[in-house]
Amino acid sequence: MRVGVPTEIKNNEYRVGLTPGAVAELTGAGHSVVVQSGAGLGVDFTDAAYEAAGATILPDAAAVFAGADMIVKVKEPQPGEVAMLREDHLLFTYLHLAADKPQAEGLMASGATCIAYETVTAPDGSLPLLKPMSEVAGRMSVQCGAHYLEKHQGGRGVLLGGVPGVEPGKVVILGGGVAGVNAAQMAVGLRADVTIFDISHRRLTELDMVFGNTIRTAFSSSAAIAEAVAGADLVIGAVLVPGAAAPRLVTRAMIASMRPGAVVVDIAIDQGGCFETSHATTHEDPVFLVDGVIHYCVANMPGAVARTSTMALGNATLPYVMKLANLGAEEAMAADPHLAAGLNVAGGRITHRAVAEALDLPFG
């Protein structure tokens, strides 16, 4: 199979779809790989490194799309990239279609087969290709939140860990999944006062066993969230419904109840966000104010730590890339129902039920 790796063009996105090591695995198995010139420079992978791994360097994205059967990316294709997709293309990347109807309609019109990293499953029901970026985003959420709590950034001037004789900052985490746990690890490490909300009693018990008395756990009800949010310095939205739009757990009224200079970080913004006041931002212009509360809603958070993110994502995606290249999309998905769960668009149709329902589009 001919595998193509274009340069990512989303705002301040420096990650790359395949590392030179992954390219070497593909070319070693007899596949050809074409890489857009400069695609890896944001993470210090030179064109020469890709050539040494067996790739052919092409001058622009148009050449890569024209010369490839499978396109491997990191972020969802931008409109100009969607326009280059063909019916015989296989696209393998993050899509997050539930919050992006124009992209979904563009992919449908292309006729391409589109497999989304975020809905590929594992036998235990987890999301193996979302996990590494959820780990990164969870850890970054506390780092970013702590930064914007600083007074010169417009924040309350609160140090999350406090100091002897001064209480620590209050961190509320909505969702006890991968992103939420990683956020909690960072917040606990900073000695913050941490509460995690979840709707699963089983998950809350697991979190209690892992973190002990270093955190509090709470069942996720509207009243309990409202009370906790009002007193929080930092609220992190880390809820996920695979393929579907994120539930709006924090209302505008709850935001208005927070103290001026408090911070919210919406990790779920790729799926529409879990704060009623959220809208997607970029690394170039990452925050905005609503009722005096700082909102950090960058839709590609892990892109800020591009090298770490590229390596982590590549470790997770390579086995699937190899399977798709070796068998082709149809045979690979027939052999692996968990990979087939990643199929979001094919033959001009939405093929993932949760995505179709979120976008009010026909399924199947």
Instruction: For 56-77, write each residue's pLDDT tens digit.
Output: 999 999 999 999 999 999 999 9
Are 181 and 247 in a shared domain? yes
139 lies in a domain?
yes
Are 175 and 75 in a shared domain? no
Per-residue pLDDT of 325-336, as tens digits, reads: 999 999 999 999
Domain of 176 in residue numbering reads as 131-299
126 lies in a domain?
no
Helix (H) and strand (E) counts for the chain? Answer: 14, 15
Are 153 and 263 in a shared domain? yes
Are 80 and 104 in a shared domain? yes
pLDDT band at 92 (very low <50, low <70, confident <90, very high): very high
Residue 364 has a pLDDT of: 83
Q: How many CB atoms lie within 10 A of CB 304?
A: 20
- Across the range 302-315, mean pLDDT stands at 96
**CB within 8 A of 304, min separation 6: which ones?**
12, 140, 283, 298
pLDDT at 3 over 90: yes
Per-residue pLDDT of 221-268, as tens digits, reads: 999 999 999 999 999 999 988 888 899 999 999 999 999 999 999 999
Are 146 and 286 in a shared domain? yes
Q: Which of 299, 327, 347 is the endpoint of a domain?
A: 299
Comparing CA positions, the residue from 315, 329, 351, 334 lying closest to residue 119 is 351
288 lies in a domain?
yes
* Cα(348)–Cα(221) distance, integer angstroms: 39
- The single residue of 31, 69, 89, 96 carrying the catalytic annotation is 96
326 lies in a domain?
yes
* Cα(64)–Cα(66) distance, integer angstroms: 5
Q: Is 96 a catalytic residue?
A: yes
Q: Which of 299, 327, 344 is the endpoint of a domain?
A: 299
Q: Are the CB atoms for 97 and 359 separated by under 8 Å?
A: yes
Q: Edge-to-edge strands of the sheet including 293-296?
A: 216-219, 193-198, 170-174, 234-237, 263-266, 293-296, 287-290
* CATH code of 207's domain: 3.40.50.720
* Cα(254)–Cα(127) distance, integer angstroms: 31
Are 68 and 148 in a shared domain? no
Per-residue pLDDT of 97-127, as tens digits, reads: 998 999 999 999 999 999 999 999 999 999 9
- The single residue of 266, 270, 338, 352 carrying the catalytic annotation is 270
224 lies in a domain?
yes
Are 101 and 138 in a shared domain? no
Residue 296 is given by DSSP the state E
364 lies in a domain?
no
Residue 77 has a pLDDT of: 97
Are 103 and 160 in a shared domain? no
Are 67 and 102 in a shared domain? yes
Are 210 and 351 in a shared domain? no
215 lies in a domain?
yes
Task: Give kind and range of the element (H or E) at residue 248.
Answer: none
Per-residue pLDDT of 130-167, as tens digits, reads: 999 999 999 999 999 999 999 999 999 999 999 999 99
pTM of the entire predicted model? 0.91
Residue 95 has a pLDDT of: 96
Are 149 and 247 in a shared domain? yes
Q: Are the CB atoms for 200 and 261 separated by under 8 Å?
A: no
Residue 130 has a pLDDT of: 94
125 lies in a domain?
no
* CA neighbours closer than 13 Å in the CB half-sphere of residue 93: 29
Q: Is 270 a catalytic residue?
A: yes
pLDDT band at 187 (very low <50, low <70, confident <90, very high): very high
Q: Which of 264, 281, 299 is the endpoint of a domain?
A: 299
Domain count, the chain: 2
- Across the range 330-345, mean pLDDT stands at 97
Are 93 and 183 in a shared domain? no
